Structures are given as C-alpha cells and as structure tokens.
A and B are shown apart, each in its own frame.
Chain A
Amino acid sequence: MTAPMLSLKGLVKSYKRKPALRGLDLDVADNEIFALLGPTGAGKSSTLLATAGLIDLDGGSVHLCGRDVTDIDPSGRDVSIVFEGFNLLPVLDVKDNIAFALRSPTYRETEDEIARRVGRTAELLRISHLLDRDVGTLSGGERQRVAIARALVRRPKLFLLDEPLSALDLKLREGLRAELRQIHRQHRSTMLYATHDYHGAIAIADRIGIIDGGTIQQAGTIAEIYARPASVFVGKLIGSPSMAFFEASIEDGKARLAGGQGVELASLGGLAGRPERGIVVGVWPEDLEIVAPDTPGTTGGRVYAIDNRGFERAVQVNGPAGSFRKVLASGIDLKQNDACAFRIPPGAAFLFDAASGKRISQQNGEAAR
C-alpha cells in the first residue's frame, strides 16, 4: 500500500477569528485528479494555499510523498499552483513567464535546457505561437493556457489548481477541461483541483471531495457518492438536477412524506440511530417516477414551471412535502399548473436526519446506481 501523494491531516486555520479550515483531512493518491468541490467560502482556496505553503496553519500537518512538509517553505515543496486570476507577470512576455520558476536559484537550469522545456510545454498546451507575445495582449483562454504551462514546466510532484476556469465563458471552459484531462492521461500528474462548479468537477476528476465549513463532508468517486451520499449538503451539490428532498416522518415502519407516499424502511437497509427532530427523504431525480395525479401510493404536486430545451424537457414540481426538478422522459407532456403525482420506487430513497443533515439509512450495501 503506497503512501498517498498528498496527505492533509487535521488542518486548522482562522483568519482574524473567522475559521476557514476546521480540522480538514484529505488524501490524494499518486497520479490522481482530485476535485475539491464546494461553495464559495467553504475553504477550498485555504486548503490549496496551505498545501502549497503560502499560508501559515494554526494546526494540522501537510505530508507530501510521506514526508512532513508543514514547516517547509513553498519553494521546497515541489508543488505548483495555478491561481484563479492566473497571476501572470505583466512585465514579461509569455515565454519568460513560463520560464520564470526555472530561472530561480532553486532550480538553476541552463538556458538551453530552459528553452527546450518551455518549448515542449508550450507545444503540449498549443501555445507555441504565443511565446513572444506580451501577456496583456492575450485572450482569457490563452492566458489560462500560459498559467497552466507555467505550472507544468517545472514538472512538480503535485499540481494545484484554484478555480482556474471560472473566468472563462462556457465553450472555452469545456474545451480546456477536456484538454486538461488529456494532458493528465498522457503525462501522468497528480492534481488537486478546487472549484464550485459541479459540472467542471465531474468532467475532470477521478475522485471528488465535497468541502464545506472547512471540513471534507465526503470524498470518493462520483459513483460512490451517488450510491451513498453522506448528507443533505452533498445531495444538494451533486447531480444535475441535484437531489430532491422531502419532509417526512416515521410512522409504522415507514417514512411517510408529508401528504403522500410512505416508503418502507426495510427497503432501505435499516436505520443507524433514531432521529430526534424528524427526517428528510432524499431521492435522485432520475429515480422519481412521474405518474397521473391521484394514483394510490404516490405524492401529489403541481407543475410550477417547464423547461423546454428542445432536445429534452425538464419540470419543476411543487408539492406539500417539498419541490423537485427532473428531466422528463419523452412522452410525458405536462404544462405549467398541471396537477401530477410522483412515486419513489423501492430502494431509491435515502433518509437523512433533519437536524444534522447526515444520512441515517444504511442502503444495504446496494450496487451503485
């Protein structure tokens, strides 16, 4: 069992008494792309900065390749970072920006070697034609590539990316994501990629870590997270559309949705613990079945709005227990304000404690859906 490339143990950090990291634990394996997914303020940037050594920690330790580097300067950690704003040096042209690190005392490469490496990296990112240009004349997408090239050229052990694509428009983002993935597959690097964009995270990552309030809520492959989401927070972040939640209470061995269906607890593999303040039932929208109103064993609702995208149609349904959004199967024709009903198929529901948000149903070790 090889040691993980990066191991963060119990990171604690506060900025002027406002806590940013509260005991964060994370392992990233060698040659893995790990996406750190969370809303603004969750602690993503702090995690990356701590890993790079650009901020001092109040507690916890950072281990690279099994070595404790917590007290070591950034230059000694062999980590490179691509910032959200790219942070290119405006006074240098593109090739000098890329070569910058290689010319520092820590590396002391010869000029020939530098030119060769810069050339190869530029080719990899398809910016060879921009090498002599001034940074200020580049477009957003081009600057992004230069920032990545600058980080890549040093061939670091660990590659940190802090929302590198958020400044770009949609088409550019998709293109660059695909390229990053290509580069990773061909050249094998370990990446820790922080983002608030769910689509971006899943497009690129091998494993995902959901971060909120300075700790990791859940980490794993997307399939694992789908099969066993750890909390309501995770459910709200994952999926497009994200998980649907309904208020419910336990009666007669069933979780009964307010005003509707009762889900057999047995089908969920039992509960871990008794919830104090009631429960929340979560279901992936893809699993929900829309049926005619007033069908027995279902929960009623009304169509709030329709999203007709041409190639598919999505609907928002509001009901007494909660609302959800779902892509409709072809053939179902609903209009705004129509009455309808939905059913949760057996085994599709997750139960969460309403107070803590944590999942309490055990899912019987079910196969990933």
Chain B
Amino acid sequence: MADHITVNSAPAAAVPAPRKRSSGRLMILSFLSPTLLILIFMVAYPIFSLVYYSFFNFSALRPAVAMKPVGLGNYAFLLSDPDLWQRFVFTGKFVALCVTLQMLIGIFVGYRLQKNFRGRDVIFTALMMPMMLSPVVVGFLWRYMFNSEWGVINYLATTIGLEKIDWLGQTNAALFAAAAADTWMWTPFIILLATAAFRGIPDTIYEAAEVDGASPAYTFFTITLPMSAPVLFIALILRLIDSFKQYDLFFALTGGGPGSSTETVSFAVAKTAFSYFYTGEASALAVVLLVIIIGLSMILVRHLNKMGERF
C-alpha cells in the first residue's frame, strides 16, 4: 500500500528570479550569427558593390586608375546598344522554348510515374541522372552530338532520309539545339516536382472522383492539375529564372556563336566583365538582369501566395 502522496520529499528551496528570459535571446543570436555573417559577406556585400560599381567607369584590371563616376552613363550606353536588345530577344526566345517544353514533358511523364509499378524506381532513378551533370559538361556533350559532320544527331537524321543540318552554325538551329540540351538536363527536375505534387493529392480525392463518375482524363484536368498548381508554379518560376541566366550551356555548346548571335544576356555580362574587363559596364548590365529576375520572381511569388490561400 503506497504512502500518501502529500508527503513532500523534494527540497523546498525556491529558485529566485527566473533566468529564462534573457539567456534565451542570447542563445538564439549566437546560433544565428554564423549564418548571418555568411549572408552578409557572400550575398549582401557583393550586391551592394555591384550596384556601386555600376555607376563608375571602372575596370578591375586597373583599379587604381581614374575611377570616374559616370552616374547613369553606363546604363544609358547599354540601353542604346542594339546588340544588347538582340541578346534580350534571343534570351527571351530561349526561355520560352525551354520552359514550355520542360513543363509539358515533365508533367506528362510525372503523371505516368505517379503510381508504383514494377521497375518504377529504376526508371525514376535513371531519369534523374541528367540533372546531376554540370551544365558545362552537358554543353560539351551535346556539342559533340550536334556536330554537323560526325555528330550522332545528324547521323540519325540521315538514316531516316533527312539531310544533315548545320546545328551549331546557324542561329535558329543553335537555339533549338540549346533548348534540346537544356530540356534534356532539366526536365527531370519538373518530373520530380510534378510527381511529388501528384502524389501529394490524397487517395480519397481520387476515389471520390471515381465514385462520382469522372473519367481519368476529366479527373486529370479538373482535379489533378488544379490541385498541383502551386507546386507546378514553383517549378515554373524556378525554371524561368534559371534559363534566363543561362551561361554555361551556351559557353560550352556554341561559344556564343555563330558570331555573337547565341549570346544570352548573362553571356554578355560575363564577356564584358572578364574578356573586356569593362567592369563598370558589366556591373550595370548585371544590375539590369538582377532587376528583371527579381521583378519576375516577385510577380510570380505573389501569384503563388494567392493560390496557396485557397488550400
């Protein structure tokens, strides 16, 4: 028979004034500081420098020499440069092509792969491989495949009776070639996100739809797609931003050629900064690029928040 519980065997000494409050905050700060420091040095500082330099006629090769502030001179120069506009157009075409292809293929494949079946995991893993390669490597890979003389693509073309195409020597063909390479590399990303989105839909929703008499196609368009919209939208944003700043791929695939017709805006920034060393001008261009990307992201994220509220 146990003792009465009211017998108190614990020490009665009270601990005065609670120490909880201040020590908590100090701990939080100390845990956050490494990350904060990194963020400041690796992100905030470079961006501020970038904007700063964009107002100067500055070359990194000769930092000491007359750093003349030119105000908006760099920007004015850029905006009046017809070549630059041509690059924007090219970049725009590239982005549109890539994103469209990747989303369509990605969603379709994701849809097929959402249910488990024998061998699914193997197929899935294999599909993820292209994403693991570095863009430069992918660029070189496809460069050899697109070689107009002995490349695999042209070889296959001739076997089905087509003529050899000079892929990398003509601007439009190069555009498609680059889009093909980028799609090959990044569609798996969309597949990944699409599959995750589709699988995130509870089974009972599908069962309810089946019981309600909806055909698989009807279900896909009225239920699966709309419910996956937020995640697919994220995928869209990410691919948009990414393909907008594409550089490595073009560097390896075409070197910007023929001439400079396949130079993206990013490519131009790199060339201006590290070939010509017009650092100020390059900074200005980089700022323009930054503003565009931030602008795009903001619009899209706001749209996403509105969507997210619904669920």
Contact = CB atoms under 8 A, between A and B. Distances in A.
Interface of A: 30-31, 53, 56, 69, 71-73, 75-76, 78, 106-107, 120-121, 124, 152, 154-157, 186-189
A187 B5 contact: yes
Where chain A touches its partner, the secondary structure class is: loop
B20 A157 contact: no
A98 to B, nearest CB: 14
B217 interface: no
A71 B2 contact: no
Contact of B6 (A76, A124, A154, A188): A188
Q: Which 6 A-B pairs have the closest CB atoms?
A: A76-B14, A76-B15, A155-B5, A189-B5, A73-B15, A72-B14
Contacts of B118: none
Interface string B1-45: 011111111111111111111000000000000000000000000
A71 B18 contact: yes
A189 B7 CA distance: 10
A186 B273 CA distance: 84
A73 B6 contact: no
A75 B2 contact: no
Contact of B15 (A75, A157, A188, A189): A75
Contact of A187 (B2, B15, B17, B19): B2
Contacts of B6: 30-31, 155, 157, 188-189
Contact of A73 (B2, B4, B12, B20): B20
Interface of B: 2-21
Given A152-B5, A188-B5, 5 more contacts: A31-B6, A56-B21, A73-B20, A156-B5, A186-B2
11 contacts: A30-B6, A56-B21, A69-B14, A72-B18, A75-B15, A124-B2, A155-B3, A155-B6, A155-B9, A187-B5, A188-B5
A226 B198 CA distance: 54
Contacts of B14: 69, 72, 76
Most buried by A among B5, B8, B11, B17: B5
A156 B3 CA distance: 13
A76 B17 contact: no
A189 B10 CA distance: 16
Contacts of A30: 6
Contacts of B9: 155
Contacts of B16: 71-72
Contacts of B17: 71
Contacts of B20: 56, 73
A317 B67 CA distance: 90
Contacts of B7: 155
A72 B11 CA distance: 14
A189 B4 CA distance: 8
Nearest to A121: B2
A192 to B, nearest CB: 15
A106 B6 CA distance: 18
Nearest to A189: B5
Given A78-B10, A106-B10, A155-B7, A72 B2 contact: no
Contact of B11 (A56, A106, A186, A189): A106
Contacts of A75: 15
A120 B2 contact: yes
